[in-house]
Amino acid sequence: MVSIFDLFSIGIGPSSSHTVGPMKAAKLFAERLDSNAELNRVDHIKVELFGSLGATGKGHGTGKAVILGLLGESPELVDVDTVDQMLLKVEQTEELSLLAKKTINFAKTGAIVFHRRKQLPAHSNALSFHAYLDNGKSISATYYSIGGGYIVEEGQENDTSSHNYPYPFENAESLLQRCKESGKSIAAVVSANEQVHCSTRTISQYTQQIWLTMQACVKRGISEEGILPGGLKLARRAPTLNRQLASQRNLSSDPLNVMDWVNLYALAVSEENAGGGRVVTAPTNGAAGIIPAVLHYYHNHVQELDQDSINQFFLTATAIGSLYKTNASISGAEVGCQGEVGVACSMAAAGLVAIFGGNPEQIENAAEIGIEHNLGLTCDPIGGLVQVPCIERNAMGALKAINAARLALRGSGEHKVSLDKAIKTMWETGCDMKSKYKETARGGLAVNIIEC
């Protein structure tokens, strides 16, 4: 079962699979060298990026993330305001201080190799590290960044041990059955399972932390002006939109005006992510704007969120995200953007129904609607950047989530297509999807739009 502490994590943009995961892998590799007393013997390191990491890693900042990880930085703690300075120092000196302990050679050319059309068989996001020691020996390790910031080392077996969860569930059908048998809500079922590892206080502290991080991200996103990094020269739109809406707050009689605010919240987060700012993976960075936008919609336009509602939203969303993570994928490089924006839309719709007081059946219905109308969504970032169409796609995903929730709340919970069937369909669609539509920037809008 996927924990809330794993599904929602705090990191930096622009991509959970291409930035957060590789940074974690690089740090892990350096820490292994240190723990084996080999760090001080390293002369230089070579990193190879395969599959989608190799094809779009430059636009996604994968090389920068690898450098930061080798320096000892972690996605959740790195100071985003000093990142450029750290990277510039490595570039100018062509040296890198492993874990801030051992200075090694790190050439501009050849230290990081982007294999644009070479892929390892286990997963489309792979990176290999090779440390060359002063005695002529080398140490290598390969990691797979499987989406949402998760990494798996090659040859490492999954943990299949039983944790004796009080309410285990492997699909939506069994989740609803656990709710029916226990009389508990979906959030309460997930909370009980989480308490195998931690206290309710710890859960509340964490949900509060991720909610505060989302709020800070929106606040920064609506105030930061300028051009986003990369070759598209894309201007941030959130600050201008914020000024427009603020000036019209008491003047507009348009009943759909709230849609503009939802767009603002999603754009603010997505632009912060594209600019390398601090975001919450929810469940990925590419889709990080959807859940914050839906939560801000409720908090600012329905009623202020209290701690109980915050817990209920995130625990419910965790249940839904867990189903996708275990039965399909949340990786755009594996199943296309339906696995990122589609899953985030599904999670957000479910969480919103929960805090509106919907029952488990209505929550499952909302989650199904959220993914059903994102099936087949491709991942085709122009220039390999998480900008076009990704930023606007988050705004559309947030609005779809709100509408899915409203449709489900107006119904009884009965519907023709189950969430389990929709998840299965998403996975099968992703398997059938050509690789050029899976975050490689070799198909769709990525090849039909001029980058500059």
Establish whether the linkage from the previous residue to 14 is cis, with ω within 30° of 0.
yes
DSSP-derived 3-state class of residue 111: coil
In a domain, 167, yes or no: no
Establish whether the linkage from the previous residue to 389 is cis, with ω within 30° of 0.
yes
Indicate whether 81 and 216 sit together in one domain: no
Indicate whether 111 and 64 sit together in one domain: yes
Q: Any bridge partners for residue 147, and if so which?
A: 150
Does position 22 have pLDDT exceeding 90, yes or no?
yes
Say how far apart CA 47 and CA 369 lie, in whole Å: 42
Does position 97 have pLDDT exceeding 70, yes or no?
yes
Does position 361 have pLDDT exceeding 80, yes or no?
yes
Establish whether the linkage from the previous residue to 360 is cis, with ω within 30° of 0.
no
Indicate whether 365 and 405 sit together in one domain: yes
Percent of the chain with pLDDT over 70: 97
167, 189 Cβ separation under 8 angstroms = yes
For residue 6, give the DSSP letter: H
Mean pLDDT (the chain) is 94
In a domain, 325, yes or no: yes
Amino acid letter, residue 204: S
CATH number at residue 120: 3.30.1330.90
- pLDDT in the model for residue 413: 87
pLDDT band at residue 156 under the 50/70/90 scheme: confident
Does position 450 have pLDDT exceeding 70, yes or no?
no
pLDDT digit string (tens) for 302-315? 999 999 999 999 99
In a domain, 58, yes or no: yes
* Residue at a domain's end among 95, 128, 145: 145
Q: Please name the residues in contact with 113: beta carbons below 8 A apart, sequence gap of 6 or more.
A: 46, 47, 48, 49, 54
Indicate whether 182 and 139 sit together in one domain: no
* Residue at a domain's end among 145, 163, 194: 145
Say how far apart CA 234 and CA 31 lie, in whole Å: 37
Residue among 64, 277, 322 at smallest CA distance from 187: 322
Amino acid letter, residue 88: L
In a domain, 76, yes or no: yes
Per-residue burial over 133-154, b = 16 or more CB atoms within 10 Å of its CB, e = otherwise? beeeeebebbbbbbbbbbbbee
Q: How many CB atoms lie within 10 A of CB 63?
A: 20
* Residue at a domain's end among 130, 145, 160: 145
What Rg value do the Cα atoms of the chain yield, rounded? 22
Does position 344 have pLDDT exceeding 80, yes or no?
yes
Say how far apart CA 396 and CA 400 lie, in whole Å: 6
Does position 189 have pLDDT exceeding 70, yes or no?
yes
Task: Report angle CA 237, 243, 244 to the nearest 5 degrees.
Answer: 90
pLDDT digit string (tens) for 218-269? 999 999 999 999 989 999 999 999 999 998 876 667 889 999 999 999 999 9
Which whole number is the average pLDDT over 171-176?
A: 98
13, 149 Cβ separation under 8 angstroms = no
Indicate whether 183 and 278 sit together in one domain: yes
* Residue 85 belongs to domain spanning: 18-145
Percent of the chain with pLDDT over 90: 88
Burial of 121 (0-12, 13-18, 19+ CB in 10 A): exposed
Say how far apart CA 293 and CA 401 lie, in whole Å: 10
Indicate whether 205 and 129 sit together in one domain: no
Which whole number is the average pLDDT over 87-99?
A: 96
Indicate whether 318 and 384 sit together in one domain: yes
pLDDT band at residue 155 under the 50/70/90 scheme: confident
- pLDDT in the model for residue 452: 46
Indicate whether 259 and 349 sit together in one domain: yes
- pLDDT in the model for residue 250: 63
- pLDDT in the model for residue 117: 86
In a domain, 444, yes or no: no
Q: Any bridge partners for residue 131, and if so which?
A: 45, 139
Token pair recorded at residue 327 = 């039965």
Helix (H) or strand (E) holding 281, with range, is strand 278-281
279, 285 Cβ separation under 8 angstroms = yes
pLDDT digit string (tens) for 369-379? 999 999 999 99
In a domain, 245, yes or no: yes
Angle between helix 360-372 and helix 172-182 axes, rounded to 10 deg: 170
Which whole number is the average pLDDT over 3-24?
A: 94
Q: How many domains does the chain have?
A: 2
Q: Is the dihedral of CA 344, 347, 351, 354 positive or negative?
A: positive
Indicate whether 124 and 249 sit together in one domain: no
- pLDDT in the model for residue 253: 79
Say how far apart CA 278 and CA 78 lie, in whole Å: 9
Does position 177 have pLDDT exceeding 70, yes or no?
yes
Indicate whether 292 and 365 sit together in one domain: yes
Terminal-to-terminal C-alpha distance of the chain: 44
Which whole number is the average pLDDT over 380-388?
A: 93
pLDDT digit string (tens) for 25-80? 999 999 999 999 999 999 999 999 999 999 999 888 999 999 999 999 999 999 99
Indicate whether 43 and 82 sit together in one domain: yes
Indicate whether 195 and 300 sit together in one domain: yes
pLDDT band at residue 428 under the 50/70/90 scheme: very high
Helix (H) or strand (E) holding 105, with range, is strand 102-105
145, 163 Cβ separation under 8 angstroms = no
In a domain, 447, yes or no: no
- pLDDT in the model for residue 255: 86
pLDDT digit string (tens) for 110-135? 999 999 889 898 888 999 999 999 99
- pLDDT in the model for residue 436: 94
- pLDDT in the model for residue 273: 97
Alpha helices by DSSP H, listed for 222-328, are 238-248, 257-274, 290-301, 307-327
Burial of 280 (0-12, 13-18, 19+ CB in 10 A): buried
- pLDDT in the model for residue 308: 98
Does position 162 have pLDDT exceeding 60, yes or no?
no
CATH number at residue 337: 1.10.4100
- pLDDT in the model for residue 160: 46
In a domain, 180, yes or no: yes
- pLDDT in the model for residue 449: 80
Which whole number is the average pLDDT over 8-18?
A: 93
Q: Torsion angle, CA of 440/441/444/445, rounded to 10 degrees?
A: 150
Model-level pTM? 0.92
Does position 429 have pLDDT exceeding 50, yes or no?
yes
